[in-house]
């Protein structure tokens, strides 16, 4: 290999021309094929949501940005497992999950990459984002429904009341190991400490009307059927029943008593659904644009309405008479980060208290 000082000016010029040609030629040859830039005009969305109105929203995003959305739909847990097993080869760009417990889990397992976005940072309230890794887009409340013929509302003003021995054999919940229960328990740990939270969990287990089975809708239906007198549920499951195409479900749901727990103290437990950019996203720019789109006012209203939730962005109005019909309430002021932080302790308490 000749040293540079032996090269004549002419030879250097020819080497320069050769290098230029080498750089330009592949670009010319590849130009009819998708370039790295064109690849950014699609987005692989891993989502547990399956609402028909979401498709309209995704179409609006494609129209606005030219970015095509490929949806991979599965349950939250299945999505997380899939992304983990795909590893660095995962085509996932955006991961959407329900509940801070799952978002925290995905964060903890390193499935997200940071997003620097002034739009997201400023439009999503600080309590509903993990700074850069994920952002909440809708909120839901964990409420209590009860049979008015068996329980008076004064008996269940607080989550704590569900552990009162007066409710022995009357309480229904889904499994304590489910993210919705873990997050509620994490919030109780944050407000009252581990010891009181464990006493509460043991108290609720002692009051259960039956071994936990099914989802929140099954607990509401347990109250309707008379198997339970009181049940815990996320707010949107009740609203879904209030809007059921089956008249008997609508009528039965309308007869239930509804409690916004902890109005005189910490406020009703609030959780989020949200998402972030996948760690190995092949299209990170598209992913960021999509998250910013979800934080826009029009998308916020539609995204929240699809699952009878509330938008996270302040002043975005929703048109949902059944949800409005449940009234207003004082919401818990706890950051989703705190809910995440207490997940391991919550899981240990659930285990120790035998909340199957
Ligand atoms: Fe749910």
Look-up: residue for tokens 């068996």? Answer: 150
Q: Which of 182, 177, 144 is nearest to 160 (CA)?
A: 144
Q: Would the pLDDT of 23 be above 70?
A: no
Task: Give all strands (DSSP E) within 225-346, no chain letters.
Answer: 230-234, 257-259, 270-278, 310-311
Domain assignment present for 252: yes
The helix, strand and coil proportions of the chain, stated in percent and rounded to the nearest 5, come to 50, 15, 35
CA of 226 to the centre of ligand 1 (A): 23
103 neighbors 339 (Cβ within 8 angstroms): no
C-alpha–C-alpha distance, residues 142 and 159, integer Å:
10
Same-domain pairing of 349 and 215: yes
The pLDDT value recorded for residue 50 is 81
pLDDT digits (tens, 9 = 90+) for 11-22: 444 444 444 444
pLDDT digits (tens, 9 = 90+) for 261-288: 999 999 999 999 999 999 999 999 999 9
Domain assignment present for 35: no
Same-domain pairing of 57 and 188: no
Same-domain pairing of 149 and 129: no
Q: What would the mean pLDDT of 184-193 be, rounded to a whole number?
A: 98
Q: Would the pLDDT of 1 be above 50?
A: no
CA of 352 to the centre of ligand 1 (A): 25
Tell me the range of 27-36, 53-62, 228-237, 330-339 where mean pLDDT is highest.
Answer: 228-237
Same-domain pairing of 94 and 53: yes
Domain assignment present for 3: no
Q: What is the mean pLDDT of the chain?
A: 90
Domain assignment present for 12: no
Same-domain pairing of 250 and 148: yes
Domain assignment present for 103: yes
CA of 122 to the centre of ligand 1 (A): 27
Same-domain pairing of 172 and 46: no
Domain assignment present for 9: no
Domain assignment present for 24: no
Same-domain pairing of 109 and 211: no
- Compute the half-sphere exposure of residue 297: CA atoms within 13 Å on the CB side of its CA: 4
Same-domain pairing of 129 and 145: no
Same-domain pairing of 121 and 206: no
Whichever domain contains 97, its CATH number is 3.40.190.10
C-alpha–C-alpha distance, residues 255 and 141, integer Å:
20
pLDDT digits (tens, 9 = 90+) for 113-152: 999 999 999 999 999 999 899 999 999 999 999 999 999 9
CA of 1 to the centre of ligand 1 (A): 67
Q: What would the mean pLDDT of 181-193 be, rounded to a whole number?
A: 98
CA of 180 to the centre of ligand 1 (A): 8
CA of 132 to the centre of ligand 1 (A): 24
Same-domain pairing of 145 and 221: yes
Same-domain pairing of 145 and 129: no
C-alpha–C-alpha distance, residues 129 and 273, integer Å:
11
CA of 239 to the centre of ligand 1 (A): 12
CA of 98 to the centre of ligand 1 (A): 7
Number of structural domains found in the chain: 2
CA of 233 to the centre of ligand 1 (A): 9
CA of 281 to the centre of ligand 1 (A): 26
Domain assignment present for 14: no
94 neighbors 277 (Cβ within 8 angstroms): yes
Tokens representing 273 are: 């659904």
Q: How confident is the model at residue 40 (pLDDT cuts 50, 70, 90)?
A: low
Domain of 213 in residue numbering reads as 140-269+329-353
CA of 34 to the centre of ligand 1 (A): 39
Q: Would the pLDDT of 99 be above 90?
A: yes
Q: How confident is the model at residue 314 (pLDDT cuts 50, 70, 90)?
A: confident
pLDDT digits (tens, 9 = 90+) for 325-336: 999 999 999 999
320 neighbors 239 (Cβ within 8 angstroms): yes
Same-domain pairing of 196 and 246: yes
pLDDT digits (tens, 9 = 90+) for 41-97: 999 999 988 888 889 999 999 999 999 999 999 999 999 999 999 999 999 999 999
C-alpha–C-alpha distance, residues 79 and 133, integer Å:
17
C-alpha–C-alpha distance, residues 173 and 232, integer Å:
6
């Amino acid at each position: 290999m000749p040293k540079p000082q032996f090269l004549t000016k002419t030879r250097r010029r020819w080497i320069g021309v050769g290098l230029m040609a080498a750089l330009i030629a592949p670009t010319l040859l590849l130009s009819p094929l998708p370039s790295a830039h064109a690849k950014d005009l699609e987005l692989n969305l891993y989502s547990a949501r399956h609402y028909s109105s979401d498709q309209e929203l995704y179409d609006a995003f494609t129209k606005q940005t030219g970015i095509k959305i490929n949806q991979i739909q599965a349950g939250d847990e299945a999505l997380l497992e899939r992304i983990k097993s795909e590893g660095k080869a995962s085509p996932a760009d955006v991961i959407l999950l329900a509940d801070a417990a799952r978002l925290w889990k995905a964060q903890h397992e390193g499935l997200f990459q940071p997003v620097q976005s002034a739009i997201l940072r400023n439009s999503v309230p600080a309590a509903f984002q993990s700074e850069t890794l994920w952002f909440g887009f809708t909120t839901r409340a964990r409420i209590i429904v009860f049979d008015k013929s068996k329980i008076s509302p004064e008996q269940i003003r607080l989550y704590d009341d569900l552990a009162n021995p007066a409710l022995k054999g009357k309480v229904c919940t889904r499994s304590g190991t489910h993210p919705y229960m873990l997050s509620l328990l994490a919030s109780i740990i944050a407000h009252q400490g581990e010891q009181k939270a464990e006493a509460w969990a043991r108290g609720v287990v002692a009051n259960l009307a039956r071994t936990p089975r099914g989802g929140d809708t099954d607990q509401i239906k347990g109250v309707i059927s008379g198997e339970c007198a009181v049940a815990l549920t996320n707010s949107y499951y009740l609203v879904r029943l209030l809007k059921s195409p089956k008249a008997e479900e609508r009528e039965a749901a309308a007869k239930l008593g509804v409690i916004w727990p902890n109005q005189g103290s910490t406020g009703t437990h609030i959780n989020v659904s949200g998402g972030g950019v996948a760690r190995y996203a092949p299209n990170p720019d598209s992913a960021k644009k999509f998250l910013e789109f979800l934080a826009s006012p029009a998308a916020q209203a539609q995204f929240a309405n699809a699952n009878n939730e509330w938008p996270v962005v302040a002043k975005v109005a929703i048109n949902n008479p059944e949800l409005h019909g449940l009234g207003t309430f004082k919401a818990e002021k706890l950051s989703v980060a705190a809910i995440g932080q207490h997940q391991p302790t919550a899981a240990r308490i659930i285990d120790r208290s035998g909340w199957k």
